[in-house]
Every structure is written in structure tokens, then in C-alpha cells.
Chain A
């Protein structure tokens, strides 16, 4: 009997209820960068996850965890890959302590499903990554996904107060707790967030929540050049105003959105979308003062969005960070304008086109590159864009790209000098390599 057969038999003996498949057609739906697992398993309880991992570990099999699959292709090409473990059946909201503004949830629930439940008490988890209908909490945490409103609310690391994580041994360990302030022991929550399943499987999470804002409005501004747009952003960040999101959209991205989503944005220059939340009076004032700042920076047009149109706008903007080839570059806010110019130059040089959507207040740019089949030129351009970002204290990760291109580049960039510290952690947490290697930074 092969190890994989032993695994399947043992799982069957343990429980007949666990869904498991080795049917090639079904497995195709669970491919990671084109690689198929030998078996896929969909446990229904945390204990079943724990048992599955323990067995895989004992049998020397390797495993990838998958939530909704929206970001399953993030990272390098997986090395040996035996089992795919899907968490989507772990979808209970275990507790919603509304008066405490906290909740405790299983990791396989989708963000949309969770928000729907929380909204009954007027609250939400302040994360707004793309693909909320498909993305699970576990996947969002493991890949540290975020969205435009991170400007105000921060990212997963600012909201997670506790995690339960299945270790490589199959043991279940808790970190943090269920209260909003806690410094007992190492803050392993931070370590698991963004670790792409290389250290453990997140099966439950405790969150700090936010009340719904009473009102919300988005100011749309347009500029003829990146310098003016970013001048406005810097003035805003240095002011007393408290925008929840500042998104910058270049002309190619704007024209994509117009073409595909029926949204009309100016198709030359740069669009800036500034979102404000709070009471009407505070929004009125902030919109007004932002317009003044924008005018000083030569804004051409301004417009306001509310209600459905506003929701629709932000949905489209969020989804636009997910092209066939999308790079996420991070630079200092003060260097954004220069970096935008650099993107143009690099693309011109390599006869490529870029469409950029940026969390301008955070210095994060999502750069969609095309055409997608210009592999060699893309490789060059990616190298150059990364080098420029790194020269400005930044980094660049190729978040989405076809496996073909992936084989020719480093998705995360060359590891830093601190990489040995990461290696030592991986070695301690997963010395047998039960969690598939090759996908995370430096092949972890």
C-alpha cells in the first residue's frame, strides 16, 4: 500500500463522513499552479483537520491548505504536493459578542457570509479584500489579504486577537485569546498571518470588530499627472482629515473599468478616490477641505459618490487588483509619483502596458502587466520594477501570474538578510516539511 492509500484508508477508518476524493476531474478543481494533488480532503471539524494533518505527518505526505481558492495561486510553484485540504466546511460563527465588539469564527467561512451575520448587530470585520464571496477567513489571514480601507482600519494583524492553529504534528495550539488587549506569551498571531500555510493551518480566529459607520461618501478627483495626484495624497495624510481610503487609479485601469464595468472615469491622467466615513457634518467638512487641497494641486474635476453607486465603485476597484499578471509593489508614499513614472518608462522600454490601482495612502501599488504572453519582456520588466521598489525601501511581489512565467521569476524576490531567522522558525514548526514547500519566500 502506498502512503497515500494508507492515508485514505486511515481517514476512512476514522470517519466515513469526511469528504475525500481522488477523482482526477474533481482534483483538477483543486490544482495549485497547475499541479494536481493526489487526494483532496474536506474535513468538517477542527478535530478532523487535526487528524488529517497528524496522519500526513506520520506518513511523510505533504499538504496544502485551501479556503475558497481565490488566492491559492499566490506564491512560488509548489514542491511535492500530495494532499489538498479544503477548509470550507468549517464555517460556523462560534460567537459574536456584539457588546464587546468581538467574534470567534471558524476559518472556512467566507468573508461575505461572516459580514452578513455580523451586520445583524450593526458590526463588521474591517477587512475589505477582493473576492469576499469566495475568500475564506483562513485564506485571507494566511495570505494577509487587505483592501482600500486598510488606511483607516489597518490589516489582519490589527484585528486578530486570537487564533487556533493545527500544527504540523496535528496538535491544535491557541495563540492570543478572546480579549482585545493581550501580551501573554509570544504574539504568534502575527507569525501565522501572512505565512501562507507554511507553519500551520488556521482553523479558528477571534477578531476585534467595528461598528458600521453611520455614513459614507466618496470624493472622486482627477488630475493630469501623478505629481499633482500624489501631492494631494500627501497633503491629505499630513492634514487633520481622516479618510478611510485613498485610491489612485491610472488611466489604463480607469479605461478598463469603464470598458468592463460601465463605470465612467476620465481616461487620461489619474483618478483619486477618497472615502470618508462618519457623521454627515464631519463628512461634509472633510469633503470640502479635501476639495480645497485638491484644487491647490491642480485637480481638474471632482465628483461625489454615495449609496449603490459608491458600493459598486469600490467593488470594481477592489477586484481590479486581480489581473492575470498583477504585481504588488510597496514604496514610500513620498516616492509613489516617481515610481508611477518609472512604471511607465519600464513598460515603454519593454513594449508592455501597465494598469495601476494603488492604495495611495499606504504606498501600495497593484500593477497589472500585459500582454500576458510576452514572457521574456515581462521577466525583464518585473526585475526592473522590483529593483526600483527596493531602492526606495520597498518591495515587490508578483501576486498573480501564470505558472509559465512563475518558473522564470522569483515571485517574492530574493530573500532578505534576515531570511535565516525565518528558516529557523519553519524548521522548528515543520521540520518534516508536512506543509508543502516552495510557495513562500525563499521556498519556505
Chain B
């Protein structure tokens, strides 16, 4: 998927690339600290860390794999001494370039800090290290009847540290909220190398809600080294439904009415025709290939609640001319329905060499209008687009298909992406619901925030990370950044 080198360096560079001599010294210090096994600096090794799931890439100068908070703090102190930027990385599944080291420097990889430190079933808490894979936490909790709610589609590989950095969501956050609603406290390392506890085991800690502020700060304020999360009981009953529609409008209106009726299901996902065809070819989940849209819905909770919600949802679907509504008969069928959804991105890979995912959010009532506009925008650039998204939240994920071998296509994709976000902003929505700003949407921040809004936000970075030692050059519009994109040759 990665296709382009980063925009040519900003006109006013925050950091010079580290010199060869300095690098030798920094590597030596880091090796003394961690052992040479856990310090990577050969081009061959570094190449593995130059990308995430977005379309930008850039190679770090050094990759380190610490095993403890103290090691992270010591790395930060070394980096600070040599004025080398530090970028944390989880699994590199991010979709906005949050883990791309645009000025090179030291990349901290949390693969060795991946343990569950504590689970307290009485108080419904778990303490984990940032490198823990999201799904591994739920897998550990499931036997006791518990799980961790946020479930990004990449949950089989993404890490909880990365989820905290991006304030990740997922299909089931419709009713239960996103990462920020499930984290009570974190341990952090500051740019000075201080280790500090934020929030804690209990709620309502006196003082500013720094936990809330840090979640979703995309690695630009601190480095998180420990996370205290809330865990919840697995639901007693789950019903998963698929409703098939002949028009997008019917599907969108169904979503609006379900929400407006007061039924808040655990998830409402929508897939349009293009996605259905790709998914069906890939997963054989039984989705009709000729439908305009399918809604995948799930309700969970007590048996009684699930039964009532299911009835209500089915009747709303029928009212909006659903061609068919299928309820998963058993767990195997339910898993199949979900496999279709969760593998959608991969399935699209079968019909297009590359694709680009956007992440706008709009008021749910504006879905029909915005979906039409997305179609028109992509048409106007001669691009194909498919939509697979969290309809219940109004969180759109248009997938724009392209082929970077076609001259000018990447540029058209970026423009279409920008135009789509402009439409989201115009209807009172936002430019990112769960993927983050990173480098991808820095310019688009200006679509929804004024200069004052952005300056006020930057005060926080100024307060904690004034020299941008951590994840520099992200999140905010960069003055004077050159807009044209250099494509990476031969990839």
C-alpha cells in the first residue's frame, strides 16, 4: 500500500538528519544501555520500520527495543542530549502516519514491552504494557467472562499503546465508547526523561484530566509506558444481523432511524456494492453482490434486551424497504458475517493494486447526502470508491482505489481525499473519527479549526514537548510545507 516518499522536507526544518558521526556515538550509548541486540541501525533492519498503514514512509536512523519504563526514560535522556527526535511505534498499523519518523531519529518499538501486568476482576481493571496486542488482552480475559471493549479492525496486530496514542475506536464503540472511555490511567515518560503516573486505579483523580488529554495525542506529548484499562463482562446474548438494501439512501435512512428510535445497538456497519463484491469474492460470507448496500448490525446484552432490540431493528429495516434481513443462526455464521467486514480492507486488495482510506465523521442524519457527494467527488477525479464504515457513529471510511503506476493518480487520490473531508467539515462533521491526524491530515485541521483553536491546542505541546523531541512535525498544519508529493521510485 505504501507508495510515496514523504513530502519534501518542510522549508523550516525542525531537526536536521543526524550526522553519521553522531549516529555512531548515539548507537554506542544505546548499545551500552540495552545491549546491541536491541539496537538496530543497519539499513536492512531499519527498512522494516519506515512505514505504517498510511501512504507515507520515512526511515528512522536507529530503532530501539526497550524492555522497561526505566530503559525508555534512559533512551529519552540520551536522545535529548544529542537533540535527536524520538518516535514511538506500536505495530505500525496506524492509518495517518503517526508512527512515521519524518525527521528520522530514534524509533522506540514496544515489541518487548507487551505484558499484562495485572488483572483485577473484582475492580474490573487491567494493567498492561503499551506493546500488548489489543486482541491478546481480550483473549486473556475471555476465559473468566470478561473483555476489553475497543476493537479496531486491526486488533489482531495493533497494540494498546498505539490505541492510546490514536484514541482508537472500532465497530463496537458505538455504544461503549472509544479508547478514552476505557483508560483510567497511564504511566508516561516526559521529554526530560521523567517517569510520571497520570490518573490511576480509581476515578476522579484531583487535578486536570491529564489522562483524557494524553489519549489521542499521537505521541506528541509524552511516551506511554503503562496503561490502566477498564474491563467489562462479556454479554450474555449477542445477535448479529445483515440487512440488504437496493439503494444507499434506504440503508442510510435505516441507520438514522435506528439511532433516533432510541435503540443503540453495539454496532452498525455499512458496506456498499463495491465493497460487497470484493468481500464476497474474498470471504464468501454470503453477501449479495447485486445489492446497493448492506448493514451489518449487532445487539448485545441481556437476552431480553437483545430480543427486543432485534425485533425493533428488523422492523425498521423492513420499513425502509430492506430486501432481506438475515439473523446469524449461530456463532459460526456470526463470525462469518464479521469476517466479511473485518477483512474488507484486505479483500479490496484483490480488486485494486492500492487503496487509500479516509476517516471523516458526519452527523448520522447527513449520511445520504455525504455518501452521494463522495461518489460525485471520486467520479470527478476518475477514481473508484467503495464505502465500508461505522454507520452508527457516522464515521465514514471511503476506500479510494488507485494504481500508483499511473502518472498523477496519487495526486488525484489525495485531492479527492481532501475534498471528501471538506464535505464532512461543511456538514458539521470532522476530519478524523479514529485514525488520527498524523501527517496525513495536518492541512485538513484547518477545515474544522480556526487559527485560534489550533494555537490553543499547540499551547499544550508547548507546555510539555516544547522542542518537539517527541514525534515532531505532526498533527498541526505545517507552515510553508511543500504540497507536492514525491513518489518513491521502483516500489
Chain A interfacial positions (CB closer than 8 Å to B): 97-102, 122, 144, 154-155, 157-158, 167, 171-175, 177-191, 193-195, 199, 211-212, 234, 237-242, 278-279, 281-282, 285-286, 328, 330-334, 362-364, 393-395, 397, 412-413, 415-419, 421-422, 424-425, 427-429, 440-442
Contact = CB atoms under 8 A, between A and B. Distances in A.
Contacts of A428: 459-460, 462-463
Nearest to A429: B459
B395 A181 contact: yes
Given A191-B208, A393-B200, A285 B302 contact: yes
B449 A191 contact: no
B256 A99 contact: yes
B202 A285 contact: no
A211 B463 contact: no
A194 B259 CA distance: 30
A149 B206 CA distance: 21
Interface of B: 120-124, 166-167, 169, 173, 177-178, 180-181, 190, 196-198, 200-213, 215-217, 221, 233, 235-236, 256-257, 259-262, 264, 301-302, 304-305, 308, 361-365, 390, 393-395, 428-437, 441, 445, 448-450, 452-457, 459-464, 475-476
Contacts of A234: 122
B267 to A, nearest CB: 13
Given A181-B434, A190-B209, A428-B459, 17 more contacts: A101-B259, A167-B456, A177-B429, A180-B394, A181-B430, A182-B432, A185-B449, A186-B213, A187-B213, A188-B457, A240-B236, A328-B204, A330-B205, A363-B123, A412-B206, A417-B196, A441-B208
Nearest to A240: B236
Contact of B260 (A99, A186, A286, A429): A99
Contacts of A180: 361, 393-394
Contacts of A285: 302, 304
Contacts of A195: 208
A429 B430 CA distance: 25
B236 to A, nearest CB: 5
Given A185-B437, A190-B180, A334-B122, A97 B262 contact: no
A148 to B, nearest CB: 14
Contact of B213 (A188, A237, A328, A334): A188
A334 B233 CA distance: 17
Nearest to A162: B430
Given A173-B452, A186-B213, A238-B121, A178 B178 contact: no
Contacts of A424: 463-464
B389 to A, nearest CB: 11
- Select the residue from B181, B216, B434 with max chain A CB neighbours within 10 A: B216
Q: Please give me the 9 A-B residue pairs with the lowest Cβ-Cβ distance, nearest first.
A: A190-B212, A211-B262, A428-B459, A424-B463, A393-B201, A99-B260, A181-B433, A282-B304, A173-B456
A224 to B, nearest CB: 22
A102 B454 CA distance: 24
- Select the residue from B201, B210, B393, B456 with max chain A CB neighbours within 10 A: B456
A179 B428 contact: yes
Contact of A418 (B197, B431, B445, B456): B197
A242 B302 contact: yes
A144 B428 CA distance: 26
B434 A183 contact: yes
A99 B210 contact: no
A181 B207 contact: no
